[in-house]
Chain A
Amino acid sequence: MHDISVGRDILEINRSLALRNREFFDEKNIFSVNIMGAVGSGKTSLIEILCRKLGDFRVGVIAGDVVSDIDTGRLMQMDIPVAGINTGKECHLDAHLIEHALQKLPLDEVDIVFIENVGNLICPVDFDLGAHRRVVVVSVSEGDDTVEKHPMIFATADAAIINKIDIAEAVEADYRKMVDDAGRINPRLNVCPVSIKKDSGVDEFVRWLKNERG
């Protein structure tokens, strides 16, 4: 009979890979942003509008999806380099998948990499990808209690986008409650109520992003 003392942190393996990704981004002078959020909240639309508004920067995207390549196809129409990842059974991206996807991007030709995570407000919390900033996107159509129901993702994010505020009344959601909830959960969070479709409020987020890039 053997008693084997291991003491190994399984999640730490992802964290050390994430750290390696971050060092790699730094070496290449690339600013990277992990965009997480609910299904249908507007993650791809956010990246599309950011590409248009960040005209001075060369943008690349890593697009994660469970099985399809729909988001990858949409983003490719923006005429930017896109590396698609299909996670298969998995509900989140991890640092190892990012390491592989990075090999598919022309890294000497990009200044900012957006990583579109799989639509999910729970699992991405445990998996640092090595991105410099974490942004979470939710929209009023998921219900104005979405933020308070998923505190951990807001607790670990740097910015939160509350999208589709133009239809808040129609879906009977109070977007101000969502903004307040996000601020209460994480006082350091930059909370931006926006309508990506109407291009309202997005400029403020772009200013924040440019500032964070430094």
Chain B
Amino acid sequence: MHEYGVAKDILDNILEEARKHNARVVKEVVLDVGSLTMLNPEQLLFCLQAVSGDTIAENMKINLNMLPIKIKCGNGHVSEIKDSMGGDVFRFVTALECPVCGERAGVISGRELILKEITAE
């Protein structure tokens, strides 16, 4: 469970941005979480609420969007890897094999954790 440490890093970034803009209260944040990270969205939400207590971000609304896993092969095919593929999720991601043509592919999205937007006043 590393959501606690990650939540602290996110909060530090939120507070730093808020300070830069002389904000008194953080109202809302938008986070994009890649499906290939080992972060559990519910735990991340819980930890963020816990660590932001007694700060200007205490009552912020947290919008958390999960980003899909996408791979792109040498022939330019971009494929979204869905959970419904079951065990194949890992085959496509690890073998980095394009589901369309079988060519070698690389992960282009799914490993990110982006602090996208902050609404503050």
Q: Is the CB of B13 within 8 A of A10?
A: yes
Stretch at the interface among A40-48, A87-95, A104-112, A190-198: A87-95
Residues in B neighbouring A12, C-beta threshold 8 A: 112
- Proximity string of chain A (167-205) to chain B, C-beta cutoff 8 Å, 1 when within and 0 when not: 000000000000000001111100000000000000000
> Does B38 contact A152, Cβ atoms closer than 8 Å?
yes
Interface presence of B118 (CB below 8 A): yes
Verify B120–A1 contact, CB threshold 8 A.
yes
**CB-based contact A11/B37 at 8 Å:** yes
In the complex, what residue of chain B is closest to A121 when comparing beta carbons?
B38
**Closest approach, in angstroms, between the C-beta of A193 and any C-beta of chain B?**
20
Residue contact A6 to B1, C-beta cutoff 8 Å: no
Which chain B residues lie closer than 8 Å to A123 at the CB level?
1-2, 38
| A122/B38 contact (C-beta < 8 A), A9-B112, A10-B6, A188-B94 known | yes
Shortest Cβ distance from residue B31 to the other chain A in the assembled complex, whole angstroms: 9
B101-121 vs A, Cβ < 8 Å mask (1 yes, 0 no): 000000000011111111111
CB distance from A51 to the nearest CB of B (A): 29
B121 to chain A, nearest CB (A): 5
B90 and A125 within 8 A (CB): no
With a CB–CB cut-off of 8 A, which chain B residues contact A126? Answer: 2, 37-39, 111
**For window 78-99 of chain A, which residues contact chain B by CB distance below 8 Å?**
89-92, 94
The answer to the question of B9 belonging to the interface, with a C-beta cut-off of 8 Å to chain A, is yes
Chain B interface size band reads: 20 to 34
With A4-B117, A152-B38 known to touch, is A11 a contact of B112 (CB < 8 Å)? yes
Chain A residues closer than 8 Å to B53, beta-carbon distance: none
Residues of chain A within 8 A of B119, CB atoms compared:
1-4
Q: Are B121 and A92 in contact (CB under 8 A)?
A: no
Kindly list chain B residues whose C-beta atoms are within 8 Å of the C-beta of A8: 13, 114-115
| Contact residues of B between 73 and 121, Cβ < 8 Å to A | 87, 90-91, 93-95, 111-121
Which residues of the partner chain B approach A186 to less than 8 Å between Cβ atoms? Answer: 90, 94-95
Contact: B112 with A91, CB < 8 Å? no
Contacting B at CB under 8 A, from A47-69, are none
Q: Of residues A2, A92, A126, A185, which shows the largest number of chain B Cβ atoms within 10 Å of its Cβ?
A: A2
Q: Are A185 and B38 in contact, CB atoms less than 8 angstroms apart?
A: no
Instruction: Add 20 more A-B contacts to A8-B115, A10-B9 (CB < 8 A).
Output: A1-B119, A3-B118, A3-B119, A4-B21, A4-B117, A5-B116, A6-B116, A9-B115, A10-B10, A10-B113, A89-B5, A90-B5, A91-B2, A123-B2, A126-B38, A126-B39, A152-B36, A155-B94, A185-B91, A185-B94
